[in-house]
């Protein structure tokens, strides 16, 4: 929307055209009289025409706008999407909504996640594209990332923010951890104002170069949590995407106790080095190893980057297997079909599972007998070995690799 149109007290948002699905385009022109004049075309006119009209008029009125010419071209947007587009159009027309513009929460209440939760896969969802959000959880990623950064055009940042906020309130992401990638600071701080009240589980902060970035984000998050009464934890996952970021990995990982994982943005990192990215990833081995070491030193998870070629499933599997061997605990996905391959790559082998099960059984046996020392056969088992075995069993269970439990 141009600055000129904004002066004319008009705004538009969303997407139009026959190829658009599950989205809509809305435009609002403020007027001095005539009430709310609505022009609506919708592919679901026959099914939802009446409720669509009521919903649109209601949203505009709730914003405190008595007179406006409103146009909506709807390609089957669900209510929270329609309302996000209208709200963005109203804001672009210079309207600050009078009443709370947020749709009622229809998603289950946030339960909060734990620091060391399973984070094998995180599915990127472009923040301005509602159609991918609605069914994302069906593909069972460990986490979804509502992305406000690279997948959103600079001119659409404001609209995406509203859409992502509504998605956090209205989409049931089922068991998936709800992550939001905000923009690079300082814009990212404004993103936090919109999304943190909706209690996302993790905030991904891009292009972090030092501990100070994280301290700023942490302070802002805690401020919003207190003000808005967000009781569940909001963790931070810094993304290191430059040579400097990698050098400061340990300081970044230990900046606050809300950092749960470090991850790397390989695309920007290789650009920073001035080298080409290869499917084997030799050019990033040092940086990734450095990240793993820093993460472990700080007691947080190390998560790998994304694998960009969706069609190359074998390449993805090989990448994931190598990443696990390096000490990573998961990676990003840019398409749902990558999720299962990644889960397979990060799954322990049968030999590992068998050994871990034996260790856990020996531990339980020792506990039951009140023995202080755990032994398996003739070998004494150290405490860290038991812990690692317990973690491995939990992961294998989540991957459905222990018969009779979980889902394959």
Stretch of 154-162, 242-250, 372-380, 399-407 contacting another protein, by CB under 8 A = 399-407
**For another protein, which residue of 34, 35, 37, 51 counts as binding (CB under 8 A)?**
51
**For another protein, which residue of 64, 66, 106, 227 counts as binding (CB under 8 A)?**
106
The angle at the Cα of 122, spanning 268 to 234, to the nearest 5 degrees, equals 95
Query: Of 258, 177, 252, 176, which Cα lies nearest the Cα of 224?
Result: 258
Give me the 116-135 binding string for another protein, x by CB under 8 A, dash otherwise. Answer: ---------------x--xx
Q: Decide whether 42 or 270 has the Cβ nearer to another protein.
A: 42
**For another protein, which residue of 337, 371, 379, 388 counts as binding (CB under 8 A)?**
337
List all residues 6 or more positions away from 178 whose beta carbon is below 8 Å from its beta carbon: 110, 143, 144, 146, 168, 200, 201, 202
Q: Decide whether 228 or 337 has the Cβ nearer to another protein.
A: 337
Contact status: 139 vs another protein (CB under 8 A): yes
Contact status: 78 vs another protein (CB under 8 A): yes
Looking at residue 348, the DSSP 8-state letter turns out to be: P
Contact status: 79 vs another protein (CB under 8 A): yes
Contact status: 75 vs another protein (CB under 8 A): yes
**For another protein, which residue of 97, 210, 327, 336 counts as binding (CB under 8 A)?**
336
List all residues 6 or more positions away from 153 whose beta carbon is below 8 Å from its beta carbon: 128
How near is the Cβ of 102 to another protein at its closest, in Å? Answer: 16
Ramachandran angles phi, psi of 263, nearest 5°: -140, 170
Contact by Cβ (8 Å): 126, 180? no
Q: Decide whether 19 or 226 has the Cβ nearer to another protein.
A: 19
Q: Decide whether 306 or 362 has the Cβ nearer to another protein.
A: 306
Integer angstrom CA distances of residue 294 from 26, 31, 199, 266, 352:
47, 58, 28, 17, 25
Q: Decide whether 225 or 335 has the Cβ nearer to another protein.
A: 335
Contact status: 44 vs another protein (CB under 8 A): yes
| CA-only gyration radius of the chain, Å | 24
Contact by Cβ (8 Å): 366, 373? yes
How near is the Cβ of 55 to another protein at its closest, in Å? Answer: 8
For residue 117, with 0-12 CB atoms within 10 Å meaning exposed, 13-18 middle and 19 or more buried, which class applies? middle
Give me the 313-332 binding string for another protein, x by CB under 8 A, dash otherwise. Answer: --------------------
Q: Decide whether 77 or 152 has the Cβ nearer to another protein.
A: 77
Contact by Cβ (8 Å): 253, 294? yes
For residue 357, with 0-12 CB atoms within 10 Å meaning exposed, 13-18 middle and 19 or more buried, which class applies? middle
Stretch of 77-85, 200-208, 228-236, 268-276 contacting another protein, by CB under 8 A = 77-85
The angle at the Cα of 164, spanning 307 to 156, to the nearest 5 degrees, equals 85
Integer angstrom CA distances of residue 167 from 171, 173, 182, 267:
5, 9, 15, 28
Q: Decide whether 103 or 245 has the Cβ nearer to another protein.
A: 103
Contact by Cβ (8 Å): 221, 258? yes
Angle between helices 187-195 and 157-170 (to 10 degrees): 30
Contact status: 18 vs another protein (CB under 8 A): no
Q: Decide whether 86 or 182 has the Cβ nearer to another protein.
A: 86
Contact status: 138 vs another protein (CB under 8 A): yes
**For another protein, which residue of 49, 64, 223, 279 counts as binding (CB under 8 A)?**
49
How near is the Cβ of 238 to another protein at its closest, in Å? Answer: 29
Looking at residue 155, the DSSP 8-state letter turns out to be: G
How near is the Cβ of 403 to another protein at its closest, in Å? Answer: 11
Strands 121-126 and 68-74: unpaired
Contact status: 408 vs another protein (CB under 8 A): yes
Contact status: 46 vs another protein (CB under 8 A): yes
Contact status: 167 vs another protein (CB under 8 A): no
List of residues contacting another protein (CB under 8 A): 21-22, 43-44, 46-51, 55, 75-79, 106, 131, 134-135, 138-139, 335-337, 400, 406-408
């Amino acid at each position: 929307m141009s600055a000129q149109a904004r002066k004319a007290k008009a705004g538009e948002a969303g997407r139009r055209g026959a190829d658009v699905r599950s989205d809509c385009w809305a435009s609002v022109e403020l007027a001095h009289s005539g009430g709310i004049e609505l022009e609506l075309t919708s592919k679901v006119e026959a099914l939802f025409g009446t409720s669509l009209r009521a919903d649109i008029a209601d949203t505009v009125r709730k914003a405190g706008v008595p007179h406006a010419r409103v146009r909506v071209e709807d390609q089957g947007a669900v209510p929270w999407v329609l309302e996000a587009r209208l709200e963005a159009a109203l804001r672009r027309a210079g309207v600050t909504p009078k009443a709370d513009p947020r749709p009622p929460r229809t998603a289950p209440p946030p339960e909060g996640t734990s620091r060391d939760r399973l984070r094998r896969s995180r599915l990127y969802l472009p923040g301005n594209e509602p159609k991918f959000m609605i069914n994302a959880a069906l593909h069972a990623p460990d986490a979804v990332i509502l992305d406000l950064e690279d997948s959103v055009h600079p001119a659409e940042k404001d609209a995406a923010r509203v859409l992502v906020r509504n998605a956090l309130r209205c989409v049931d992401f089922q068991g998936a951890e709800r992550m939001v990638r905000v923009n690079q600071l300082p814009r990212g701080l404004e993103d936090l104002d919109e999304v943190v009240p909706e209690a996302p589980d993790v905030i991904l902060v891009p292009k972090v170069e030092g501990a100070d970035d994280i301290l700023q984000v942490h302070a802002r998050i805690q401020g919003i949590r207190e003000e808005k009464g967000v009781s569940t934890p909001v963790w931070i996952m810094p993304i290191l995407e430059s040579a400097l970021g990698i050098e400061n990995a340990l300081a970044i990982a230990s900046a606050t106790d809300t950092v749960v994982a470090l991850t790397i943005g390989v695309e920007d990192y290789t650009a920073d080095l001035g080298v080409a990215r290869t499917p084997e990833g030799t050019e990033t081995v040092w940086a990734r190893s450095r990240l793993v070491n820093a993460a472990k030193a700080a007691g947080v998870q190390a998560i790998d980057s994304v694998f960009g070629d969706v069609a190359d499933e074998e390449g993805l599997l090989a990448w994931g297997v190598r990443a696990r061997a390096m000490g990573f605990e998961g990676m990003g996905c840019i398409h749902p079909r990558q999720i299962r391959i990644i889960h397979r790559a990060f799954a322990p082998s049968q030999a590992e599972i068998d050994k871990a099960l034996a260790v856990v059984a020996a531990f339980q046996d020792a506990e039951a007998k009140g023995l202080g020392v755990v032994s398996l056969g003739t070998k004494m088992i150290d405490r860290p070995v038991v812990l690692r075995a317990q973690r491995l069993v939990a992961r294998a269970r989540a991957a459905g690799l222990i018969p009779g439990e979980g889902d394959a």
